[in-house]
Amino acid sequence: MTSIPSQNIAEPSLVAATAPDLDDLVALEQRCFDSDRLSRRSFRRWLDGDQCVFLLARDGQRLAGYILVLFHRGTRLARIYSLAVDPDYRGRGLARRLIASGEEGARSSGCFYMRLEVSSQNRNAIALYETLGYKQFGLYQDYYEDHSDALRYQKRIRLVSDTAYHRAIPWLAQGTRFTCGPAALMMALAALDPEYIPSATEELRLWRESTTIFMTSGHGGCHPMGLALAALERGFAAEVWVNQPGPLFLDGVRDESKKPVMTLVHEDYRAALERRDTPVHYRDLRQDDLITAFERGGVPLILISTYRMDKKKAPHWVVMSGYDDDCIYVHDPDPDGQGQTALDCQYLPLARADFERMSSFGRGRLRTAVILTRPGLD
């Protein structure tokens, strides 16, 4: 394609992407990237999506660039998933305009943070992002098809106090749809003891030790007391917070024959913790309790409802990985497959008000967490 003299290039207009733009997007992707391209199928999916900002820069009928920003449902996190500018339009500030508009769209949707990944070899893009206020906060090795590393950048796009306190916690994906509890537990144990080695076998072993046997349907979920006992068996200290003294999760079980079994499991876990003199606090879990434990070196496992994330009323275990004045941050062991990767599941910012709703599960408004520490930790 013949380059257009810069003096003849009009200022492109920014417009929302729509289905008829598909062919132009695929052509631009081919023109801009030699590898790691978005497919036609991916473009079509996001043109129909509602959890994103998808903007085009058009110079008349010509597509000059685009930005695709994805929202992590249920959180206050947005991510620049892809950004492209036609080579003929580079050096004219178009990438800045697209990023600024993407940030504004994310802000309008309630997001606090924008994240992105950029190749460690792309010095021009890195310089641009840093000029725009993005700060590196991580590294993902061998991320791209050419085996280059991805630098992880983040920017706070809502101007509120930024006093985040994070802890280095390794992230692990759950190996099955029902082992979020064991995956969360392995993250916490690995954070507390670098010599602890997670594995697929260990994940299933932890599930067998902590399962409720039954759940609303399918395989049983993990009981907070069961997770605490599994941690104790591995030499860690634990305490449980639960706002209900009786058997848990029964209100979502329709099969009456399952409830006596779940009750027996609950009582067995309770008695085992009592024999070990492990604290069980029967009251509502407060955010201040989590923060206090976190500041003292503990790692909280928290049960949340996934409804705000995936519209399914399912119990789900996450790991607290930080906090600030506005958010509780968590590691989520379950990438949802909707364009999300491991990078999207770490240090997820949950606004305090959102977290308050998400950490209450079921009709009985169950609130529960397990606080893990190293033995002897004050």
Q: What is the CATH number of the domain that holds 298?
A: 3.90.70.10
Instruction: Tell me if 320 is assigned to some domain.
Output: yes
User: Based on the domain organization, do 253 and 289 belong to the same domain?
Assistant: yes
Tell me which DSSP letter residue 366 carries: B
HSE value, Cβ hemisphere, 13 Å, CA-based, for 76: 21
How many of the other CB atoms lie within 10 Å of CB of 364?
Answer: 15
* The pLDDT of residue 2: 43
Quote the CA–CA distance of 251 and 57 in Å, as a whole number. 52
Question: How many domains does the structure of the chain reveal?
Answer: 2
User: Based on the domain organization, do 152 and 189 belong to the same domain?
Assistant: no
User: Based on the domain organization, do 140 and 206 belong to the same domain?
Assistant: no
Instruction: Tell me if 172 is assigned to some domain.
Output: no
Q: What type of residue is 331?
A: H
Instruction: Tell me if 166 is assigned to some domain.
Output: no
For the CA atoms of 195, 201, 203, 207, what is the dihedral angle to 10 degrees?
A: -130
Q: At 130, phi and psi to the nearest 5?
A: -70, -35
Instruction: Tell me if 327 is assigned to some domain.
Output: yes
Q: What is the pLDDT along the chain (378 residues), one digit of tens a residue?
A: 444 444 455 689 999 999 999 999 999 999 999 888 999 999 999 998 888 999 999 999 999 999 999 998 778 889 999 999 999 999 999 999 999 999 999 998 888 889 999 999 999 999 999 999 999 988 888 888 888 888 989 998 876 445 568 888 999 999 999 999 999 999 999 999 999 999 999 999 999 999 999 876 678 889 999 999 999 999 999 999 999 998 998 887 888 999 999 999 999 999 999 999 999 999 988 999 999 999 999 999 999 987 656 556 678 999 999 998 888 999 999 986 555 677 778 888 888 888 998 898 888 889 999 999 997 655
* The pLDDT of residue 159: 60
For the CA atoms of 107, 108, 111, 115, what is the dihedral angle to 10 degrees?
A: -50
User: Based on the domain organization, do 184 and 155 belong to the same domain?
Assistant: no
Domain that residue 33 falls in: 6-159
* The pLDDT of residue 376: 64
User: Based on the domain organization, do 290 and 239 belong to the same domain?
Assistant: yes
Q: What is the CATH number of the domain that holds 18?
A: 3.40.630.30
Instruction: Tell me if 1 is assigned to some domain.
Output: no
User: Based on the domain organization, do 224 and 327 belong to the same domain?
Assistant: yes
Following DSSP, what letter does each residue of 204-233 receive, concatenated? HHHHHHHB-SB-SSSB--B-HHHHHHHHHH
The answer to whether the CB of 332 falls within 8 A of the CB of 204 is no
* The pLDDT of residue 164: 66
Structure tokens at 90: 């580079």
The answer to whether the CB of 329 falls within 8 A of the CB of 320 is yes
The pTM of the full predicted model, rounded to 2 decimals, is: 0.73
